[in-house]
Amino acid sequence: MNLIYKIAIDEAHCVSNWGHDFRECYLKLSLIRDLFPNINILALTATATIPVKSDMIQLLALKNPKVYMESF
C-alpha cells in the first residue's frame, strides 16, 4: 500500500533559477518521478516567468501538467 498520495515542491522556480549554479541537488528532484511514477506532483511558485515555467516542467519531469497562473 502506497502511503504517499501527492508530493508538493514549494518555491519550485529554484529548480530552474539556482539548480544549475549552486544547488545541484535541486536538479535531482526529477528522481521523485522515478521513485513514485504514479504520484501527483504539485510544483508551486509565485515568481516563475514563462521560460522558468518550461524549465520547471522539464526538470521536475512533470507529466502533462495542469498550469494555473494568476495575477494580482
Mean pLDDT estimate for the chain:
84
27: nearest Cα among 15, 11, 41, 13: 15
Cα distances (Å, whole numbers) of residue 18 to 25, 32, 66: 10, 19, 23
Question: Residue 21: pLDDT above 80?
Answer: no
pTM of the model: 0.78
The pLDDT of residue 63 is 84
The pLDDT tens digits of the residues spanning 33-59 come to 889 888 899 999 888 888 989 989 998
